[in-house]
């Protein structure tokens, strides 16, 4: 079975882990390059893939919301500049 992107096993363990990198455009809002690095607490790859897919979808939603906030803030500052 193929691993879902971000799923890996740390050396010396039988548990699967999930890592989600922060997109470059949102990097200033995070303290590191990782949005999440955590154990999936499962030993079965099928279960790990399923949980990783759920977590990746949640992060995609959060990243989209952050981008929308950035766009709204940019639009507001442009409007304020034009109002002067």
Q: What is the pLDDT of residues 20-39, one digit of tens each?
A: 999 999 999 999 999 999 99
β-sheet bridge partners, residue 38? 18
Alpha-carbon torsion 7, 9, 15, 20, what sign? negative
77 has pLDDT over 80: no
Between the CA of residue 41 and those of 38, 67, 68, 76, 81, what are the distances in Å? 9, 31, 33, 43, 51
Predicted local confidence at residue 81, as pLDDT: 59
CB within 8 A of 76, min separation 6: which ones?
none
Phi/psi for 38 (5° steps) reads -150, 160
Q: What percent of the chain has pLDDT over 70?
A: 87
Q: What spatial distance separates the first Cα and last Cα of the chain, rounded to whole Å?
A: 60
Predicted local confidence at residue 14, as pLDDT: 96
Predicted local confidence at residue 70, as pLDDT: 80
Q: What is the mean pLDDT of residues 41-54?
A: 98
């Amino acid at each position: 079975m193929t691993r879902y992107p971000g799923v890996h096993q740390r050396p010396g363990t039988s548990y699967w882990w999930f890592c989600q990198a922060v997109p470059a455009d949102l990097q200033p809002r995070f303290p590191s390059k990782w949005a999440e690095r955590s154990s999936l607490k499962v030993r079965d790859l099928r279960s790990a893939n399923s949980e990783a897919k759920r977590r990746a979808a949640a992060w995609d939603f959060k990243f989209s919301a952050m981008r929308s906030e950035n766009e709204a803030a940019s639009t507001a500052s442009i409007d304020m500049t034009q109002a002067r």
